[in-house]
Amino acid sequence: MPETPGSPFLAHARLAELARTRGDQPFIWEAHETGEPMTIAQLHDKASRLATVLAGMGVRRGDRVHLQLSNRWEFLAAFFAASIMGAVIVPVSLRASLDEVAYSVELTQPTAGVVEAAGPEMLDLLTEIGLPSSALLAAGASAGDAVVALADAVAAASPWSGPEEGRITDLLAVLYTSGVAGWPRGVMLTQANLRHAAIAYAAAARVQPTDRILISLPLSHIAGLGNMALAALWTASSMGFTKPGPTWIRAAIRQQSTVANLSAIEVRELLAAPPVESEESVLRLVVFGPAVSTQLREEFEQRFGTELRLGYGATEAVAPIALSLPTVLPDEDYVGEALAPAALSVVDSSGAVVAAGEPGELVVSGVPGVTLPAGYYGLPELSRQVFGSGRWHSGDQVIIESDGRLRFLERAADQFKAGLTTVSATAIERVMKEHVGVADAAVVAVEKAGEAPVVVAFVELSEFHPDLGVDELAGWVATRLGDESLPGRYVVVDALPYTESGKVLKTRLVEWAAE
């Protein structure tokens, strides 16, 4: 892509182009409390005025803007406003802990913030770490609240009249990884990165201008923002938002959604929920991940009348890595067909590429700032190590078959030493989930100073055997695993902690094990 000022590949330039040519077209379904959609022209106008508001709050080119919002039009208005100004959004999940919010804000030092329903505790924290109420806008706030109401400020502002001289290599977003095995890292994504993510997803899902994309995954995640919302931008289609859970299918029916994304846990929850009055929809494709059983996939497809296809990716990979084909029957390791096989390789522990069909670590090749992230925010040395060579080592153990099928074996973080033996958490979890009394399971290693790590298994019991005892389960597992892989401790929980993207939050489990 040419490095020219005012590139037509900038997010706000694309929105402005659509506002000129398709301004009256609905862009966000049920955007307002009345249920009315927001048109492309209306979103462009609000983003332009919000840019003026943020500039008045001191935001300049390159400055960071803290976002803590659910999926709503104000999130996208802030995103496009930042694109207009050359600023950078730093979205943080509404479910983030106070420590996680403090970590992000202290590292990125935002000039302003756009928040939602911030309680006194959160406002006190933001003030303490440098974002007083005068630097905050609140979605859904009203006059008299502690922070300025975004809607009122936007309505009173003039459209942006400043320069728009951005480049495709400009940093536009810092998206935090889920932090399932440690502190989250802020992945720096440029204009080019986010366009690449959107175009790749749109091509894989065959998104057309007539599609309506239903988004329940958070916009603070690469799947929600980069893959889905921006796929609607670049294909001139439209989108709608809904919360996970039983309301999802009602939203899909009302909005006449054709494409959607879910996490695996949401797939299970929807199947467990009682049917609504009518579940007939026009959905043609739902992409989900991580994997569920073939039985659950078939039940979902039959009940909701849509293809349910497994997707596999990572924030650091920017674009989706693999997507399953409807004509391929998945087995327990299959996660899809490699979408860009020329950019993927599998290497052994020495870094040498292995033959097709052999296991190894997945490596994604690309150009930093274009098809790979620009780096990790505030971690320049780590950024050079991880992305400087143009090859991102995922840590995931996979197999790529000669026909392009990708099999996921294990994440590096799920392997740990127990004495002289390398123990696989994935293998233990797979065995435990085969028991009829286990609805879900996760395994972590807990270390104490001067002691060998203890393998701790967390178990969520199923409705089929709610009185399953720990001793009974341990005895059953012992018949299927070698002594070196047996958990040293079992903990029964009501539910495992999951991230919004459907990954078990193993850092939380380590904390629970230490209590």
| Cβ neighbours of residue 20 closer than 8 Å, sequence gap 6 or more | none
Q: Are 477 and 431 in contact (CB under 8 A)?
A: yes
pLDDT band at residue 2 under the 50/70/90 scheme: very low
Q: What is the CATH number of domain 419-514?
A: 3.30.300.30
Domains in the chain: boundaries: 8-241, 419-514
**To the nearest whole number, what is the mean pLDDT of the chain?**
88
Write down the pLDDT at residue 480: 82
Degrees (nearest 5) of the Cα angle 455, 314, 233? 150
Host H or E run for residue 197? helix 191-205
What is the tens place of the pLDDT at every residue in 417-454?
655 566 778 878 888 888 888 988 998 888 776 666 78
How many helices (H) and strands (E) the chain has is answered by 15, 26
Contact 180, 508 (CB under 8 A): no
For residue range 60-71, list pLDDT tens digits in order: 999 999 999 999
Q: Which of 116-120, 183-187, 236-240 has the highest mean pLDDT?
A: 236-240
> Do residues 408 and 398 lie in contact, with contact meaning Cβ atoms separated by under 8 Å?
yes
pTM of the predicted model as reported, rounded to 2 decimal places: 0.85
Q: Over the stretch 365-403, which tens digit does the pLDDT of each residue have?
A: 999 999 999 999 999 999 998 898 999 999 899 999 999
- Bridge-based pairing of strands 489-492 and 454-461 is parallel
For residue 3, name the pLDDT band (cuts at 50, 70, 90). very low
Number of C-beta neighbours around residue 512 at 10 A = 14
The fourth-level CATH superfamily of domain 8-241 is: ANL, N-terminal domain (3.40.50.12780)
pLDDT at 416 over 80: no
Express each pLDDT in 16-67 by its tens digit: 999 999 999 999 999 998 999 999 999 999 999 999 999 999 999 999 999 9
- 118 vs 443, residue with greater confidence: 443
Q: What is the mean pLDDT of residues 460-481?
A: 86
Judged against a pLDDT cut of 90, whether residue 140 lies above it is answered with no
> What does the pLDDT read at residue 70?
92
**DSSP-assigned beta bridge partners for residue 308:** 286
DSSP 65-100: EEEE--SSHHHHHHHHHHHHHT-EEEE--TT--HHH
Q: How many CA atoms lie within 13 A of 459 on its CB side?
A: 31
SS3 content of the chain, % helix, strand, coil (to 5): 35, 25, 40
- Number of Cβ within 10 Å of residue 256's Cβ equals 13
Residue 233: is it exposed, middle or buried by C-beta count within 10 angstroms (0-12/13-18/19+)? buried
The answer to whether 148 and 64 are in contact (CB under 8 A) is: no
In 3D, which of 269, 271, 262 has the Cα closest to residue 290? 262
Structure confidence by residue, pLDDT tens digits, 251-289:
999 999 999 999 888 888 899 888 887 878 899 999 988
The Cα–Cα gap between 479 and 355 comes to: 34
**Would 8-241 and 419-514 be classified into the same CATH topology?**
no
Alpha helices in 10-72 (DSSP H): 11-22, 40-56
DSSP three-state, residue 178 = coil
Locate 193 and state its tokens. 């990165």
pLDDT single digits (tens) 152-202: 999 999 999 988 878 999 999 999 986 545 567 899 999 999 999 999 999
Per the CB < 8 A criterion, the answer to whether 418 and 425 are in contact is no
Residues 303, 295 contacting (CB under 8 angstroms): no
pLDDT score, position 5: 52
Residues 312-334 have a mean pLDDT of 84
